[in-house]
Amino acid sequence: MASTVSGSAAPLDSVLLVVTPENVRFDFRIAGPFPRLVAFFIDYLLIAVIVIATAMVFGFLIGEASTGFILITFFALQWGYAGFLETFCNGQTVGKKALRLRVVSTNGLPINAQQAFLRGFLRTADLVPHGFAGLGSMMFSRRFQRLGDLAAGTIVVIEGKQGRVSSPESVPATTLSANIIPARFRPDPALIEGLTLYMSRRKKLSKPRRREIARNLARHFIRMWSLPEQTNPDELLCLLYARLVARQSEQSVKPSRDEQKSETPNWLTEGIGKETLA
| Angstrom distance (rounded) from CA 14 to CA 144 | 10
Tell me: do 98 and 4 sit in the same domain.
yes
Tell me: do 132 and 205 sit in the same domain.
no
End-of-domain residue from the set 159, 193, 213? 159
End-of-domain residue from the set 159, 186, 210? 159
* pLDDT the model gives residue 265: 46
* 171 within domain boundaries: no
Tell me: do 138 and 231 sit in the same domain.
no
* 38 within domain boundaries: yes
* 235 within domain boundaries: yes
Rg (CA), the chain: 21
Tell me: do 152 and 187 sit in the same domain.
no
Beta-bridge partners for 103 = 156
Residues with Cβ < 8 Å from 171, sequence gap 6 or more?
199, 238, 241, 242, 245
Tell me: do 145 and 33 sit in the same domain.
yes
Predicted model pTM: 0.59
Buried/exposed code over 14-45 (b: 16+ C-beta within 10 A; e: otherwise): bebbbbbeeebbbbbbbbbbebbeebbebbee
Tell me: do 115 and 212 sit in the same domain.
no
Phi, psi of 164 (to 5 degrees): -120, 145
| Angstrom distance (rounded) from CA 71 to CA 65 | 11
* pLDDT the model gives residue 168: 47
Residue 44 DSSP code: H
Report, as ranges of residue numbers, the positions in the chain whose pLDDT lies below 70.
Answer: 1-27, 160-171, 188-190, 249-278
* pLDDT the model gives residue 160: 66
* 128 within domain boundaries: yes
* pLDDT the model gives residue 262: 45
Dihedral angle computed from the Cα positions of residues 110, 114, 115 and 119, in that order, rounded to the nearest 10 degrees = 140
Tell me: do 202 and 137 sit in the same domain.
no
* pLDDT the model gives residue 267: 46
Tell me: do 123 and 18 sit in the same domain.
yes
End-of-domain residue from the set 126, 159, 192? 159
Tell me: do 132 and 255 sit in the same domain.
no
pLDDT tens-digit readout, 54-100:
899 888 888 777 888 889 999 999 899 999 999 988 889 999 999 99
| Residue 191 lies in domain | 178-277
* 142 within domain boundaries: yes
In the chain, the number of structural domains is 2
CA 170 to chain centre: 29
| Angstrom distance (rounded) from CA 16 to CA 2 | 16
Tell me: do 121 and 3 sit in the same domain.
yes
Tell me: do 118 and 189 sit in the same domain.
no
Tell me: do 222 and 110 sit in the same domain.
no
